[in-house]
């Protein structure tokens, strides 16, 4: 369990301590942007792998028992998460690292007209689904870390982008929202999803179905109702 706690802290460090503070530009100036991004990615990936291994080795410590039926909410939340993930990855992302040209245009295209952080919401839904289905301490640490990183990360990322590209981010912010559909409801954004996005969403559902069918083989437990 100690190993899992340390891995979770290491995962939180670059996302919530280094990236949103003055440490990021200082490190980039010292080592160069490309080297910084490579090391940042390697640290994040290494921490994620460590978290996964430590989670598998952690002892079972009961914290709470999910009520009957609650774990099956994952069968609703996770496919939505997969759809958001594919849409986010397959659409030019104005908030991603190195997307200066996309951000300068300030356009909220496709899924980014619904929320400017679809990938973060995918992580949040995925984490919540697993928190609802698992009541042990190791699961709370692992999936809670993912949830906190994504939820807080959205706000911190907005603050950083507003400093780095105030004009482009200002235009993007005017026509998008953190909360899904908030900009659409308020009239600040227009529906921007097309047939290409429908195909991406379908690909996300197919990916979810593949993982669902192989979940027991990969992780030793099936999320399907018995």
Same domain, 55 and 70: no
pLDDT of residue 51: 96
Model pTM above 0.75: yes
pLDDT band for 33, please (50, 70, 90 cuts). Answer: confident
The last residue of one of the domains, among 39, 59, 79, is: 59
Same domain, 76 and 47: no
Same domain, 91 and 165: yes
Q: Minimal CA–CA distance to 111: which of 188, 31, 52, 196?
A: 196
Q: Which domain holds residue 158?
A: 60-219
Q: Minimal CA–CA distance to 11: which of 52, 43, 53?
A: 43
pLDDT of residue 212: 87
Same domain, 100 and 182: yes
Tokens of 185: 């409801």
Assigned domain for 25 exists: yes
pLDDT tens-digit map of 52-108: 999 999 999 999 988 877 777 888 999 999 999 999 998 887 776 655 666 666 566
E strand segments, the chain: none
pLDDT tens-digit map of 126-163: 999 999 989 999 999 999 999 999 999 999 888 888 88
N residues, the chain:
226
Tell me the C-alpha distance between 160 and 186, whole Å. 25
Assigned domain for 156 exists: yes
Q: Minimal CA–CA distance to 123: which of 151, 99, 96?
A: 151
The residue whose two tokens read 């002892």 is: 59
- Hey, which residues does 62 pair with through a beta bridge? 136
Same domain, 54 and 81: no
pLDDT of residue 82: 96
pLDDT of residue 160: 85
* Residue 136: strand, helix, or coil: strand
The residue whose two tokens read 């999936």 is: 143
The last residue of one of the domains, among 59, 88, 107, is: 59
DSSP percent split of the chain into helix, strand, coil, nearest 5: 75, 0, 25
The last residue of one of the domains, among 9, 34, 59, is: 59
Mean pLDDT, the chain, rounded, equals: 87
Same domain, 28 and 133: no
pLDDT of residue 103: 65
Q: Specify the number of domains making up the chain.
A: 2
Higher local confidence (pLDDT), 171 or 151: 151
């Amino acid at each position: 369990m100690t190993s899992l706690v340390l891995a979770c802290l290491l995962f939180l460090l670059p996302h919530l301590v280094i990236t949103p503070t003055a440490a990021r530009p200082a490190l980039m100036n010292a080592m160069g942007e490309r080297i910084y991004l490579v090391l940042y990615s390697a640290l994040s990936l290494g921490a994620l792998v460590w978290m996964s291994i430590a989670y598998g080795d952690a002892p079972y410590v009961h914290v709470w028992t999910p009520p009957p039926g609650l774990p099956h909410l994952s069968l609703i939340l996770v496919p939505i998460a997969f759809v958001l993930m594919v849409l986010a990855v397959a659409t030019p992302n104005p908030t991603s690292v190195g997307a200066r040209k996309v951000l300068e245009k300030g356009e909220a295209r496709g899924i980014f007209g619904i929320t400017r952080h679809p990938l973060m919401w995918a992580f949040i839904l995925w984490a919540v689904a697993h928190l609802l289905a698992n009541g042990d301490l190791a699961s709370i640490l692992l999936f809670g870390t993912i949830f906190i990183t994504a939820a807080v990360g959205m706000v911190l990322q907005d603050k950083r982008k507003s400093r780095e590209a105030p004009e482009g981010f200002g235009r993007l912010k005017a026509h998008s929202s953190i909360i899904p559909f908030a900009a659409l409801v308020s009239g600040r954004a227009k529906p921007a999803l097309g047939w290409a996005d429908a195909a991406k969403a379908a690909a996300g559902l197919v990916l979810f179905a593949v993982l669902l069918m192989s979940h027991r083989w990969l992780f030793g437990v099936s999320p399907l109702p018995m």
